[in-house]
Chains A and B, each alone.
Chain A
Amino acid sequence: MSQYQRPGLKKIEEFLYHETGLLDRMEIRQWIDLFTDTGDYWMPVTPDQEDPINHISIFYDDRDLMEIRLRHHDNPRSHSKDFTIRSSHVLGNVQIASFDETNGDCQVSCNFQCVMYYRDQQQLYAGTCQYHLRLIDGRYHIQRKRVDLINCDAPHGSIQTYV
């Protein structure tokens, strides 16, 4: 007998909409709290990158760095963050890639487009996201969010916040 039931796609989609909605509203505190204590956010710099430790990445934040980044953002003297950051995510092709019936963990993937606006300039970020979601006390938490930009290896200007 399996202990956990495979979740419906709708439940997963709701979680992803909630997560990216927090980013779009710049509610970074609540967003960080979605991660497990050992969770991380990873944006590789090459397609199919296997390793965040022995290879450079654009982002690879553990909880420590997320907290430092949040404090930096909120600091009145962070001049690169003087203007409001606005973003808008659209998600599609949400799929449950795998489900672990022993603990309720899910591997989820989706495509995304994120328009980010900062000081008169609009950037389009697009690609795929992969989530490792963990079920803790009946609620999903993020063990890893991996964001593969389709132009990951292009030269980028400053990427103002999490995508």
Chain B
Amino acid sequence: MSYSVEDIEKLVEPARVHRKVYTDEEIFDLEMERVWGRTWIFAGHASEVPNGGDYKTFNIGSQSMLMVRNRKNDNISVFYNRCTHKGAKLVGDGKGCAKAFRCPYHAWTFDTEGKLLATPPTKTLETSGFAPDDPEYNLRPAAQVNIYHGFVFVNLDANAEGLHEYFGDSLTSIDNMVERSPEGELEIAGGVLRYRHDCNWKSFVENLNDNMHPMATHQSAIEACQGYAQDLPEGSEVPETVHILGPFGSSYDFFEDMSHVVFKNGHSYSGNKVSIHSAYPPVPDYVDAMETAYGKEKTKEIFSCARHNTVYYPSLTIKGAIQAIRVVRPISVNCTDIETYTFRLKGAPDEMLQRTLLYSRLINSPSSIVGADDLEVYERVQAGLHSHGHDWVSMERQKDHDQPQEDGSIEATGSSELPFRNQYKYWLQLMTNTEAVKIKA
């Protein structure tokens, strides 16, 4: 079928959505156009391309993109990764440093600002009947690029609202992560993990603010961890592993207290006042460095903000308190790659990077005992939703208890399914917008 606006409207109700939003390929294709083609998508971090000519490729759905640090002016550009001659993908996947980008097909060559430099053979160019200095032949830039504290975002729609307006006060989570550096600067470090999820991208995004699943989904990991800790001989030092895994086994009451804050455009975070990251043992050298940089009061204030996951809908989720991010890269309706990156807090001791790496390995690696149980439930959702027995996915919990705030955000208790409802409200708005995306600025 081909979805009309009315058809799409029927898929989303205020507190439940039709299973097809997770399983229908046609919906996925529309999402890539109307959701991913119109919103601010995380490209990468500026520290991944520190020098002129440094580049990396990434995907926005089916669109291969090229992020590059310009050699001339040190700016970061994002281009469609497509040769303007016959359309070959210009750069193979990955990262590197380039003087210029030379297409492997007929050697059209572009500088790092995207300008077409050469179209061999030059000898017959004048009589060839085509004008390579037509700007149409330059690499096509993404309609909008904006950088927030080094986080590079792109928007493929020239008509979309600006980055600050789009993310609003959810940006305070990035602010807090940055402030956790004594020098106020972050740097991607320690490599990337790519974890393939055979599920729809939305199952992953929703789960990050699903406070009611750890007690069930992670019961086994918790019991394993607690059982091991209990059986340690008396007086032994508690391993760091236990400090990190342990809080996943907090009670329903604890996760109830990890309240939600949601913003327009689908963004949200949980752990407003307290979270599973609140009680890690302090690293003394780090605390010293922070207090020297900011003073005692301000340091306390920075540490008191220990939010759980912040969702920058739809592509980025961050954990400021442990300086790790997960990037959502949809591949198909039932396949999504999740990339985990970690940050070095500039001016902080190495232990801080080592802790976030340990966290990411324990929770977000393909070998993780926590991540594997998460993925298991996403995959079961993906399988279960093919059932003809029931069409609707329920998101009703605490639906009558939203607390709208003066600043436009909405708060809710930790067990609320408000973050999901908030995401679908925006999703519906995007998916029923049939206006053509404007790809040129």
Contacts and interface: CB of A to CB of B under 8 A. Distances in A.
Nearest to B196: A155
Interface of B: 189-198, 217, 219-221, 223-225, 227-228, 239, 241-242, 245, 337, 340, 342, 350, 353-354, 357, 360-362, 365-367, 369, 371-373, 375-377, 380
Given A54-B354, A56-B342, A159-B367, A67 B228 contact: yes
B191 A46 contact: yes
Interface in A21-74: 43, 45-46, 49, 53-60, 62, 64-65, 67-72
Given A59-B361, A71-B223, 4 more contacts: A59-B367, A60-B361, A77-B223, A157-B198
A53 B357 contact: yes
Nearest to B374: A80
Contact of B195 (A49, A69, A72, A156): A156
B195 A155 contact: yes
B239 A54 contact: no
Nearest to A153: B194
A81 B376 CA distance: 9
Nearest to B227: A71
B375 A158 contact: yes
B213 to A, nearest CB: 12
Max chain A C-beta neighbours (<10 A), residue from B196, B365, B377: B365
A76 B342 CA distance: 33
A44 to B, nearest CB: 9
A36 to B, nearest CB: 17
19 contacts: A54-B353, A54-B354, A55-B357, A56-B360, A58-B361, A59-B361, A59-B367, A64-B228, A64-B242, A68-B241, A69-B369, A71-B227, A79-B380, A155-B194, A155-B195, A156-B194, A157-B196, A157-B197, A157-B198
Contacts of B195: 155-157
A13 B40 CA distance: 55
A156 B191 contact: no
A49 to B, nearest CB: 8
A159 B366 contact: yes
A133 B427 CA distance: 56
Nearest to B192: A56
B365 A59 contact: yes
Interface of A: 43, 45-46, 49, 53-60, 62, 64-65, 67-72, 75-81, 153-160
A11 to B, nearest CB: 31
Contact of B193 (A54, A58, A70, A75): A58
Given A67-B228, A69-B224, A157-B196, A56 B191 contact: yes
Nearest to B353: A54
A59 B368 CA distance: 8
Nearest to B193: A56
Contacts of B223: 71, 75, 77
Nearest to A57: B361
A85 B227 CA distance: 23
A32 B247 CA distance: 26
A64 B365 CA distance: 17
A99 B198 CA distance: 45
Contacts of A76: 220
The 9 closest A-B pairs by CB, nearest first: A71-B224, A78-B220, A75-B220, A155-B194, A72-B224, A80-B376, A80-B372, A156-B366, A155-B196
B357 A54 contact: yes
B373 A78 contact: yes
Contacts of B350: 54
Contacts of B196: 155-157
Contacts of A53: 354, 357
Contacts of A75: 219-220, 223-224
A79 B365 contact: no
A80 B367 contact: no
Contact of A154 (B194, B360, B376): B194
Contacts of B342: 56
A158 B374 CA distance: 10
A159 B337 CA distance: 15
A58 B366 contact: yes
Nearest to B338: A155
Contacts of A45: 191-193
Nearest to B197: A157
Contacts of A49: 191
A65 B224 CA distance: 10
B191 A72 contact: no
A79 B376 contact: yes
A65 B71 CA distance: 46
B229 to A, nearest CB: 9
Contact of A77 (B220, B227, B239): B220
